[in-house]
Amino acid sequence: MISIDTMTAANNPAHTNLSSQELVEIALARGEGVLASNQALTVRTGTRTGRSPKDRFIVKDPLTEHTVDWNTINQPLAPEKFDTLWQKASRYLESRDMYFVSHLRIGEDPTYGISVKVMTELAWQNLFAHVLFIRPAQPQDDPQQWTILCAPGYKTSPEQDGVHSDAAIVLNFSKRRVLICGTQYAGEMKKSMFSVLNFLLPQHDVLPMHCAANKGKDGNTALFFGLSGTGKTTLSADPERFLIGDDEHGWSKEGVFNFEGGCYAKCIDLSAEREPLIWNAIQYGAIMENVMLDPQTHTPDYTDVSLTQNTRAAYPREFISPRVESNRSGQPNAVIFLTCDLYGVLPPVARLSREQAAYYFLSGYTALVGSTEVGQGSGIKPTFSTCFGAPFFSRPPQVYADLLMKRLDETGAQVYLVNTGWTGGAHGQGGQRFSIPTTRTIVSAIVNNELRQTTYQTLPGFNVEVPVSIRNVDNHLLDPRKTYANPQAYKENAALLIKLFIDNMDKFSISDSIRHAGPSSLSSRV
């Protein structure tokens, strides 16, 4: 056991490159968390149990002024405001009795990856970075190194600091710095560095992606795009395939590489039967955020969402046994867009043309399932998140769409739209969500190339190609029109969703071929 008194006896309060065990022990000794019955360090993140998009800023300077897509997500902050805030947060961190430093890496690629120095006020947050980022065998000095300064105890002042609340997440691309104040939610560190690579990589002809990736025994690689709650982590953690990563990747001319060294899974309703790999990965060295424990036994209750629906577990990739050791792979043969359709009118799987792939990529249609952001509430609602990750992409959407089309043309990868949402009716109107086993069977048919050789029919209105049959799947489910007891209800819900698609696409300046590849008004005979 590490003695905190011994560690703080030195004049320097910074404790550098500690092991997972050391960070767990310190976090326990300081009362930052407790061990659950599965031995995962369990913490609470206070009032902010998700990301705070309204508190996220990018420093606006000559580098970013004309390259960032400034909007309500990418909010500008003046350089002088950042410099002052960085100085105040640095002084605050250095005044603590102890703080924690790790030298890590983002991006499993020697050419495109970047090194990052992570400084945190809390031991468990440094453990989070240690788990989620890549742990180099031997940290090296890097003049292009980025720095994260995470000081949740330092509260910002809107009047003095030019921000909106007592928390701020600020990215400075020119100085290679990320500042996080006023929030304990560790996902801000992960997504900030994702945003950094999303800005840096396109200029190197690399597509950054909000997607999971895995590889089959036959060498075929699959990508799983989607927002939180649509199934990226669940479906990529496949006992029959090898995991590359569950959330963030780059796609270059050489292939696919993971940005991270760990996984960050949603825990709501987690079960050993449905998600055995994730269940077993939550062990000593992992972290659970805002998961409720039994007061006596400390057994996790994954159904208890009294704190938040965004309960989370972070664990190293090594805790998933079937994985790709190199953390990267060759070119993918299948690209899967995961969508959670609340209206119950999209098929469980559809094959997309090149133009349809661009359309649905720019649309990013899905549902917000569970609150991953502060202020979302607990309801479920439809959303359009450009590139399946709008909060993290700082350049104009067309930059990423063009790179996707380029990679598809180079590789011949087939794109599929997979609905993990509702069927037989809309959410709250008698519909049922597709079961995980059904979706797994469909995904298996995709990654095994079965759907490249089957017969398709066109679904009117959405104009996508739907397979007529899939082995071990009830063919009745494949055509959403057949799952509705009331055909008129299908038409009405389909018309509602189609209008949402068309209205959302109006904000993009795109070619006619892409626009016409999307949904169109239903005829009365559908």
Catalytic residue among 81, 117, 312, 328: 312
Core vs surface per residue 466-495: b (16+ CB within 10 A) or e: bbeebeebeeebbebeebbeeeebbbebbb
Concerning whether 135 is annotated as a catalytic residue, the answer is no
Concerning whether 298 is annotated as a catalytic residue, the answer is no
Q: If residue 28 lies in a helix (H) or strand (E), which one and from where to where?
A: helix 20-29
Catalytic residue among 232, 323, 395, 407: 232
Q: What is the torsional sign of CA 83, 85, 88, 93?
A: negative
Under DSSP, the state recorded for 212 is E
CA-nearest of 247, 195, 23 to 125 is 23
Catalytic residue among 15, 48, 51, 215: 51
Catalytic residue among 45, 247, 308, 439: 247
Concerning whether 105 is annotated as a catalytic residue, the answer is no
Concerning whether 406 is annotated as a catalytic residue, the answer is no
Residues 200/88/20/195 CA torsion (nearest 10 deg): -20
By CB neighbour count within 10 A (0-12 exposed, 13-18 middle, 19+ buried), where does 202 fall?
A: buried
- Residue 131 structure tokens: 């788990």
Q: Tell me the C-alpha to C-alpha distance, in Å, between residue 29 and each of 14, 43, 155, 306, 422.
A: 17, 13, 25, 26, 46
By CB neighbour count within 10 A (0-12 exposed, 13-18 middle, 19+ buried), where does 95 fall?
A: exposed
CB 289 within 8 A of CB 254: no
CB 320 within 8 A of CB 237: yes
Catalytic residue among 88, 103, 190, 210: 210
Concerning whether 176 is annotated as a catalytic residue, the answer is no
Q: How far apart, in whole angstroms, are the C-alpha atoms of residue 516 and residue 141?
A: 51
Concerning whether 249 is annotated as a catalytic residue, the answer is no
CB 374 within 8 A of CB 493: no
Concerning whether 232 is annotated as a catalytic residue, the answer is yes
* Angle at 165 (CA atoms; ends 304, 77), nearest 5 degrees: 125
Cα distance between the two ends of the chain: 69
Catalytic residue among 156, 192, 195, 228: 228
Backbone angles phi, psi at 475, to 5 degrees: -60, -25
Catalytic residue among 88, 191, 266, 491: 191
Neighbours of 25 (CB within 10 A): 18
CB 271 within 8 A of CB 436: no
CA atoms within 13 Å, Cβ hemisphere of 38 = 23
Strand partners, 178: 148, 171
Catalytic residue among 49, 233, 363, 444: 233
Q: Tell me the C-alpha to C-alpha distance, in Å, between residue 168 and each of 85, 173, 174, 181, 184.
A: 10, 16, 18, 5, 11
- Residue 10 structure tokens: 């030195």
- Residue 321 structure tokens: 């046994």
Concerning whether 191 is annotated as a catalytic residue, the answer is yes
What residues are labeled active site?
51, 191, 210, 228, 232-233, 247, 312
